[in-house]
Amino acid sequence: MGENPAKNHYAQLNQGEENEMEIFGYKTQGCRKALCIAGYFLSCGALLLLFYWKPEWDVWANCIRCSLEEADVVLLRTTDEFRIYSRKTVTWISVSALIQSRLNYPATAVEDSIFSKAIMKPSLQVKSIQVQRIRYVWNIYAKQFQKVGALEDHHTCSAIHAKFGSGLTCNEWNVRKVICGPNTIDVPVIPIWKLLIKEVLNPFYVFQLFSVCLWFAEDYMEYATAIIIMSLLSIFLTVYDLRQQSVKLHRLVESHNNIMVTVCRNKEGDSCFQELESHHLVPGDMLVLKEGKTLLPCDAILISGQCIVNESMLTGESIPVTKTHLPQADNFKPWRMHCAEDYKKHVLFCGTEVIQTKADDTGVVKAVVLRTGFNTAKGDLMRSILYPKPMNFKLYRDALRFLMCLIAFAAIGMIYTVCVFALNGEEAGEVVKKSLDVITIAVPPALPAALTTGIIYTQRRLKKKGIFCISPQRINMCGQLNLICFDKTGTLTEDGLDLWGLLPCERNCFQDIHSFPADHSLPWGPVFRAMAVCHSLIVWEGKIQGDPLDVKMFEATNWVIDDSSGHQIEGQGSTHATVVRPGPKASSAPVEGVAILHQFPFSSALQRMSVIAQEIGGEQQVFTKGAPEMVAMLCRAETVPLNFESKLLLYTAQGFRVIGLACKSLQAGKQSTDLTREEVESDLTFLGLLIMENRLKRETKPVLEELSAARIRSVMVTGDNIQTAVTVAKNAGMISPTNRVILVEANKIPGSFSASITWKPLEKNKPEDYRGLAKAMGLEPRSPRVFTSALPVEDDSPPTTERRIGLALASGQYHFAMSGKSYQIVAQHFRHLLPKLLLNGTVFARMSPGQKSSLVEEFQKLDYFVGMCGDGANDCGALKVAHAGISLSEQEASVASPFTSRTPSIACVPELIREGRAALVTSFCMFKYMALYSTIQYLGVLLLYWQLNAFGNYQFLFQDLAITTVIGVTMSFTGAYPKLVPYRPPSQLISPPLLLSVVLNILFSLSMQVFGFVVVQEQPWYSKTDIHSACLSVNNHVENSSSISSLGLRGMRDGAHGQTDNGYKSYENTTVWLLSTINCLIVALVFSKGRPFRQPIYTNYVFILVLIGQLGVCLFLVFADIDDLYSKMDLVCTPTTWRISMVIMLAVTLAASFLVEEAVIENRPLWLLLKKTFRYHSKSHYKRLQRVLEQDSAWPPLNETFFSDSVAISVEGSMGGHSNPTFDSNEDTL
């Protein structure tokens, strides 16, 4: 039964967000429920178990469809490819006790908020559901479920100040508290009994329980007991891991759940302060922040004063961040839209630590509670761990198909068994037991345990190499990675920057460069003042803390920060300003110090920061620093040197990080706090360029070369300047010296809804151009060029250029570079070009966090397996979205990343890929071995069933426990091969080489067993009735001629032990059992692949010793003639010639199996030839696109400009790839 969304029965929850769901309304029906309860009893709980696995069937069986308004049960379905269902019961919250009279009711009714729209009249109840720890209430006007626990987005800046500036009334607070629930990120430690029940009800363990019950019914006690012990061990290990994770998460959040806070209450127009525990906070509450360190228990908007916050929990960087108050802008725009990308600068996030508060004229630092509980940034991070996104990996899909095939295989065996035994007049009970037993033989119960051990060993090897993994299922995925996105700063290059030089500008001309460290100190002047004050540094625990770039810049001045409390600044009243003064080593300055009055913090969207500063006893000035192109645009044209772009290129082409500086004087008597950012950052005077050196890490180049040799694409995703990024990419080896770089520039056309896109080849720096920076300082580029966005375009003679570019492009040796702005415009206006650009896109510069996540998702849409390696900060979203996110930061934020490296170096990337490939191949080996082991045993049993015979208890036990279980545990010990080869292991079980390998080995095994079964009956010494006829001359047994009719088969795995013949002994049984047992060892050896993805098999000493030991025991059983042993193992004596014949059969099977595996299955050139012959092409989107572009002589269109249609595609959903919408940047959606 499927869903047919009818009107009002169906709606969408969290539309456009990552956790978007479809919601369906249902009403419980009494008679249906009664029938289902009867079904539970009649099926002995099987129906209940089925409903536990399939909640949608439960709802469809118990309920009838209805509108969401009438529903008492809702069915939720995810909108991703997995379409996972979950069932939720609707609950009612009563607020009648809080709204006792009509007089205080309007306090909530007037308010245009969800709280008033959710209260049903006259019952005064609120209808709610809880999904993934977030509460949704029914909006009676909008007729939909809406989130509570967050302030509505429609409030304007002035409305927030007006409505919530003096706090909530007690009545408002009470209503909100009941509807929203407590402000806690409660991750309770799950009781062990709950974890146990959940684990035991796993379909795999239910199947094992069925198998064990069947084996006990047949007295096959030993293996049943062994399986119970193994299963219990596996369950307890899993439960222990889950419990540890639960305790760890609980400890991570419990510190924020009960903090004493001060809130402002509005009592009849008067504000009064009240202390309460943080779990009582509600959205809209007015929080008063006191001096000293404070942990934030919720997300809040700062509405007065200033704060310095440590956000390492969210960003992974322990750099203090300055937060400024929300402006009182009087317009109709919602506050978040008004602040655009800058809105985060006014928001204090839950779980972060306020280090310092600075009050303004009001004397207090106040913030309005924005979000509570699991709606907060911290709560969102926790939810991403508690409810991880399911993975879509071919291996896991194929594993289910593989098990289905085995079950189908078993069904054929069951039909055969029923026919054979029923026709021979066996009892019905025995026939049922034997036919069911075929399932437990064909479907190996040890398969999941064996696969898990492989992953556990890999995890352990990674841990030894300093790589920690919180999502073990992703290890196999790492074996498929073929594209890695790298952040630049702190990942490819060193974390810190060194100040290399300063290029001052006076009267629109650049002066001589001032190098660092210099013999003479920097002279006093506007540039010096900019370096001393244009930063967001603070003194924390006796040390200057902040952005590494700011620290280096400030240290070069030899000034110090005097961060003692309030400084009286002329004309500014009492304000808590940071004052910088000359230090002991500083050169003489004509001022006592400079006070930083106001900050406009750095914004990645605006690419700049500004401060308003005042010399003590002097005038106020604005200082701005940021991306040179951006700063130059804000300056008066006459102050920017004519050769600005060529100078900028000169340094960025060397890989330097260049920062632009500018300033202007402010009119006297204007309060710095009254000025908007737009007013402050206009008509500036350009001061010069600050040149920082960012060195590549030592291991960067070798790692990128290794990835390139393995045909794994490397892509740079950075927030830095495009030219610097291209240079670093060249220096690191991402872009080969012979390859061309094409700049893709997209711009919106002013005054219209269309956009343009241009392709320009980037200037290749000729060695003679820069024979050393010292010489080049005074030189201009030699030939006149046209400049666009600080990047020169080729100006060679046309024929040479065309020929040179043509050659490079024809061979596909070109790379696209683009900025975040261009990427966004392409995604909006040139959607059809995006896949083509991504196919050769190598450098993505000036990318915001949201754009990084979006880029990773776009690569995934092209069927790339994408890895992301970053150092936390702006990469959190992309790390989560990627198939394998590797965080180089050990901060708390990295909990969102599947992998974390203890050493902050990209050397962990190839290591992870190597181990991933080895783990993937091990999984395939294990699947193949388990398939063959169960098939070999299955074929042997079916052959013996033909004679109403079977394997004995100890025969099964030896194969199941002594052979397969031990092999399953030790096969995975083989480590990863140290060299990355230029191709990947297959990603699916149903690949032709794998299937061929399994089918051929099944045929070899079948042939050998049938051959042995038939040929033994042709031997002159063979007798159906006398099982001692072959060895009468050797053994003095009392003749025991039990006819086949008297075998009487008392159950397949009859428990009759002792010296007596239990009916299993026969020449066929001995032959088939010995052949099938040693055949299991043969396939284990043949399938244990070594190179190219794993180390040679002989390096796995434990496995080799196990195989030798097992083979020794098996050969001993073949050639030994010990009566007691043979009797116990249900074997009979055969002539030595026949034993040698069996060994020859096994040797031939080994040779054939080994030859086929090496000469055909593992013969890569042969498969490539077959692919070419049959014209098989990869179905991957990017491969298909590559083939199309190879035929397209017009691509890429150099020095051409395209224009889009006037209609732009909305990319609101596609650009916000990160699952933490409360924290991540939303500039793309505004």
AA identity, residue 443: V
Task: Say which residues have a Cβ less than 8 Å from residue 923's Cβ, sequence separation at least 6.
Answer: 395, 451, 454, 476
**Residue 533 DSSP SS3:** helix
Tell me the C-alpha distance between 61 and 576, whole Å. 67
Sheet holding 884-887, edge to edge: 467-469, 899-901, 884-887, 866-870, 483-486, 713-717, 841-845, 814-819, 740-748, 755-761, 1201-1203
Q: Which position has the token pair 């030592």?
A: 698
Q: Which position has the token pair 């000034």?
A: 559
Which structure tokens are listed for 878?
């992309």
Tell me the C-alpha distance between 851 and 515, whole Å. 36
Tell me the C-alpha distance between 316 and 1191, whole Å. 45
Nearest C-alpha neighbor of 297 from the set 333, 261, 322, 247: 261
In angstroms, the first-to-last Cα distance of the chain is 41
Give yes or no for a contact between 545 and 678, defined as CB atoms under 8 angstroms apart: no
**Residue 901 DSSP SS3:** strand
Give yes or no for a contact between 277 and 225, defined as CB atoms under 8 angstroms apart: no
Residues in a beta bridge with 144: 139
Q: Strands 543-545 and 538-540: what pairing?
A: antiparallel
Task: Say which residues have a Cβ less than 8 Å from residue 473's Cβ, sequence separation at least 6.
Answer: 391, 393, 396, 455
Tell me the C-alpha distance between 400 and 443, whole Å. 12
Catalytic-labelled residue, pool 58, 285, 437, 487: 487
112 catalytic? Reply is no
Question: Residue 257 CB: number of other CB atoms within 10 A?
Answer: 18
**Residue 275: CA count within 13 A, CB half-sphere:** 4
The vertex-425 CA angle with 424 and 429, nearest 5°, equals 120
Tell me the C-alpha distance between 632 and 903, whole Å. 39
Q: Which position has the token pair 């997995």?
A: 82
Tell me the C-alpha distance between 294 and 285, whole Å. 17
**Residue 867 DSSP SS3:** strand
Total residue length of the chain: 1230
Give yes or no for a contact between 770 and 653, defined as CB atoms under 8 angstroms apart: yes
Tell me the C-alpha distance between 669 and 684, whole Å. 19
Nearest C-alpha neighbor of 1053 from the set 1151, 949, 1157: 949
Give yes or no for a contact between 872 and 315, defined as CB atoms under 8 angstroms apart: yes
Tell me the C-alpha distance between 866 and 861, whole Å. 10
Give the long-range contacts of residues 34-38, CB within 8 A, separation 24 or more: 36/61, 36/62
Give per-residue burial for 991-1009: e unless 16+ CB within 10 Å, then b: bebbeebbebbbebbeebb
Give yes or no for a contact between 473 and 389, defined as CB atoms under 8 angstroms apart: no
The pair phi, psi for residue 195, each rounded to 5°, is -60, -40
Q: Outline where 991-1091 has alpha helix (H).
A: 992-1017, 1067-1087
Q: Which position has the token pair 């709950």?
A: 194
The pair phi, psi for residue 426, each rounded to 5°, is -70, 155
Give yes or no for a contact between 33 and 27, defined as CB atoms under 8 angstroms apart: no
Give yes or no for a contact between 549 and 560, defined as CB atoms under 8 angstroms apart: no
> Which residues are known catalytic residues?
487
